[in-house]
Amino acid sequence: MTDKERKELVDIIKKEMVKLQRKIEELKEFTQPVEPDSAIGRISRMDAINNKSIYDASIQNSRNRLAQLENILKMKNDDSFGVCIKCHNDIPTERLKIRPEIRLCAGCLEHARR
């Protein structure tokens, strides 16, 4: 990986981390407890409870991805940055631009799914 590609990936990671932090803050507004004495109907309350669980799951997924990005960012100067942890080949930069936290190349990921 060239220094230019590394810098570009670091920038992508930082931007994605900012987006995830904003998303988490926005989703927190929708995860407030549904008050039992709220003046909404029974069906609406059930919908609100269901939506809350969906937002909770989305927050958890966002936090997990944020943690993965933070860990990858710590590795930005390591030789293992952008390298498959299984076959030790370089992961294509275009793939890393889409999912910078990925640790497996496409071949190893496909093999692991079988």
- Residue reference for tokens 């937002």: 55
Give the HSE-up count for residue 110: Cα atoms under 13 Å, Cβ half-sphere: 3
Please give the domain boundaries of the chain with CATH numbers for all domains. 3-113 (1.20.120.910)
Q: What is the pLDDT of residues 25-51, one digit of tens each?
A: 998 887 766 566 555 555 676 777 778
Q: What are φ and ψ of residue 90, in 5° steps?
A: -65, 140
CA distance 100 to 114: 23
Q: Is 46 within 8 Å of 22 (Cβ atoms)?
A: no
Question: Over 90: is that where the pLDDT of 12 sits?
Answer: yes
* pTM of the entire predicted model: 0.78
pLDDT tens column, 62-101: 999 999 999 999 999 998 899 999 999 999 999 999 999 9
